[in-house]
Amino acid sequence: MTAPPSLHLVRLAVGELAPVTLTVAPGEVHCLSGPSGSGKSRLLRAVADLEAHDGEVWLGDIDQASLPAHAWRARVMLVPAESHWWEDEVGEHLPRAEASDLEALGFTPEVLTWQVARLSSGEKQRLALLRAVSLEPSVLLLDEPTANLDGATTRRVEAWLMARIRERHWPVLWVAHDADQIARVATRHWRIEGRNLREAPAWV
Ligand SMILES: Nc1ncnc2c1ncn2[C@@H]1O[C@H](COP(=O)(O)OP(=O)(O)OP(=O)(O)O)[C@@H](O)[C@H]1O
């Protein structure tokens, strides 16, 4: 398998945030942190072409502006903090789910027969991650992917995600609030301070 290309943000500007230029290489996890309302989710949404913005985003030599939004989003996959579900049954969203992945995320295959309406927020979050990963994107954008999970489940989901990221060499932007999580997963850590994104140590 060829490694996915790097993700490049070039003077990307959305909302109040000063323009952001950074490169996420294949297999790197860049964590974004910052106060509530500082613009982390909007930045991810701009990278996914879900929000109007200035500047450029490139996937290798593919310019975001050169692709229809749906084609870009199939490659540059956002997993929002609150996932969207449009079919009634879980299995309709996960036609290629592997029992080993379900087990690693704390489910038995029976979950595929469950109604989406009965899912807890933590169950939804884990299944939304599995859905995104099973669509084989080139980049993952994760908005607080473990926000609704207890400590033990967080570690389990992190381990599963990190194994997939290492296997697939995806560049990853990962919004996180928890310093311990950032220390565990980040290759680099960017923190929003005022209007600026500044590099911060990954271990604080
Ligand atoms: N479409 C929009 N137009 C104008 N302002 C918006 C829009 N969407 C969000 N905002 C505002 O932009 C700011 C940043 O929002 P964002 O959701 O990116 O914050 P965040 O850093 O992800 O916060 P949190 O950690 O609470 O999730 C907030 O003040 C929000 O109200």
Look at residue 184 and tell me if it is in a domain: yes
For 29-52, write each residue's pLDDT tens digit.
999 999 999 999 999 999 999 999
* Any domain includes 110: yes
Let me know if residue 78 belongs to a domain: yes
7 is a domain residue: no
Which structural domain, as residue segments, surrounds residue 150? 27-38+68-200
**What is the position in ligand 1's atom list of the atom closest to the CA of 177?**
25
Which pLDDT belongs to residue 204?
55
pLDDT at residue 1 tops 70:
no
Specify the amino acid at residue 11. Answer: R
Domain-located, residue 10: no
The alpha carbon of 164 and the centre of ligand 1 are apart by a number of angstroms equal to: 29
Count: domains in the chain? 1
DSSP β-bridge partners for residue 197: 192
Q: CB under 8 Å to 151, separation ≥6 — which residues?
A: none
Say if residues 185 and 159 touch (Cβ distance below 8 Å). no
H helix and E strand count, the chain: 7, 10
Kindly give the distance from the C-alpha atom of residue 107 to the centroid of ligand 1, in angstroms, as a whole number: 33
Find the mean pLDDT for residues 166-180.
96
The pocket around ligand 1, CB under 6 angstroms, is made up of: 15, 34, 36-42
Q: Does residue 50 fall inside a structural domain? A: no
In a domain, 115, yes or no: yes
Tell me if 26 sits within 8 A of 4, measured CB to CB.
yes
DSSP secondary structure code for residue 106 in this structure = T
The pLDDT confidence band at residue 4, using thresholds 50, 70 and 90, is confident
Question: Does residue 140 lie within any of the structural domains?
Answer: yes
Tell me what the mean pLDDT of segment 13-25 comes to: 96
CATH number at residue 144: 3.40.50.300
Task: Report residue 123 as tokens.
Answer: 């169950």
Q: Three-state SS for 199?
A: strand
Contact between 128 and 79 (Cβ < 8 Å)? yes
| Structure token digits, residue 116 | 């989406």
Q: How many Å lie between the centroid of ligand 1 and the Cα of residue 30? A: 20
CA atoms within 13 A on the CB side of 160: 21
> How far does the chain reach from its first CA to its final CA, in angstroms?
35
Confidence of residue 60 (pLDDT cuts 50, 70, 90): very high
CA dihedral 186, 165, 19, 73 (to 10 degrees): -150
